[in-house]
């Protein structure tokens, strides 16, 4: 695909995003601080959609920059994360089915669709007691500065509550479930093996037949 063909495809994708946002090209131009002619040229594929322009437009249209540049097909960060989650393995699909059976559903809103990851901070009661009231905002700002940015998943509880969980914690949950399944299966295997060994080592009367045989040395 040459640059001219790519310009046309990117322009068409940009046009659809503008329509889905219920905006006019002049409104997008004003919000992005571009000229209306520049937006029109990009939409018609007359000029290249640059990385800088895509980054600015992604914020205006609430879509990923990579999507506008046709580098992938994930319109929002939520779609990208959800696709990755589905590729994480069959255990993910099983978990989704379990959540669905329990009445949970994946939820999308302005936070999950935001291009800017959210941050999670923890403040315990001791910190609050030791921090003057007028210093609490500074404490929060300091913790926010140090906190890692995280992709946000949201689950809707059957009673309507929204439960938010970071992608890091969600995938840690998947790993815990897989490890627990492996652990339980290994326990079942060990129990069956011990039962069969005991059954093989007894006669019809339930007496051990190993007592009549010399013990073997394990090398």
Mean pLDDT of 172-195: 81
Residue 215 pLDDT grade (very low, low, confident, very high; cuts 50, 70, 90) = very low
Question: How confident is the model at residue 25, as a pLDDT?
Answer: 94
Mean pLDDT of 169-178: 78
Is the distance from CB of 46 to CB of 87 less than 8 angstroms? no
Strand partners, 156: 105, 162
Question: SS3 string of 148-169?
Answer: CEECEEEEECCCCCEEEEEHHH
Residue 26 pLDDT grade (very low, low, confident, very high; cuts 50, 70, 90) = very high
Residue 205 pLDDT grade (very low, low, confident, very high; cuts 50, 70, 90) = low
Q: Is the dihedral of CA 162, 111, 178, 98 positive or negative?
A: positive
User: Cα–Cα distances in Å, from 36 out to 21, 25, 52, 58?
Assistant: 17, 6, 17, 17
Question: How confident is the model at residue 34, as a pLDDT?
Answer: 95
pTM, 2 dp: 0.46
Question: How confident is the model at residue 19, as a pLDDT?
Answer: 94
Residue 54 pLDDT grade (very low, low, confident, very high; cuts 50, 70, 90) = very high
Question: How confident is the model at residue 60, as a pLDDT?
Answer: 92
Residue 207 pLDDT grade (very low, low, confident, very high; cuts 50, 70, 90) = low
- Rounded to the nearest integer, the mean pLDDT of the chain is 79
Lowest mean pLDDT among 130-134, 147-151, 189-193, 201-205: 201-205
- pLDDT at 110 > cutoff 70: no
**Each residue of 66-88: pLDDT tens digit?**
999 999 888 887 777 677 666 66
**Each residue of 116-171: pLDDT tens digit?**
666 667 778 888 788 887 888 888 888 877 776 666 677 888 888 888 777 777 77
- CA dist 142 and 175 (Å) reads 31
Question: How confident is the model at residue 116, as a pLDDT?
Answer: 60
Mean pLDDT of 195-200: 64
- CA dist 18 and 170 (Å) reads 32
């Amino acid at each position: 695909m040459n640059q001219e063909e790519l310009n046309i495809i990117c322009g068409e994708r940009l046009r659809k995003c503008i329509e889905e946002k219920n905006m006019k090209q002049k409104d997008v131009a004003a919000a992005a601080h571009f000229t209306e002619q520049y937006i029109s040229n990009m939409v018609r594929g007359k000029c290249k959609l640059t990385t800088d322009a895509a980054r600015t437009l992604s914020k205006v249209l609430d879509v990923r920059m990579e999507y506008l540049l046709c580098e992938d097909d994930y319109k929002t960060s939520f779609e990208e994360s959800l696709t990755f989650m589905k590729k994480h393995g069959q255990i993910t699909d099983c978990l989704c089915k379990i959540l669905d059976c329990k009445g949970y559903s994946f939820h999308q809103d302005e936070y999950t669709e935001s291009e800017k990851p959210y941050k999670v901070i923890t403040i315990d009661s001791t910190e609050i007691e030791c921090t003057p009231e007028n210093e609490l905002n500074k404490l929060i700002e300091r913790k926010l500065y140090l906190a890692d940015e995280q992709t946000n998943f949201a689950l809707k509880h059957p009673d309507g509550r929204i439960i938010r969980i970071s992608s890091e914690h969600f995938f840690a949950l998947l790993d815990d479930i897989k490890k627990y399944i492996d652990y339980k299966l290994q326990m079942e295997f060990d129990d069956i093996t011990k039962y069969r060994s005991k059954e093989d080592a007894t006669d019809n009367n339930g007496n051990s037949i190993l007592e009549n045989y010399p013990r073997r040395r394990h090398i």
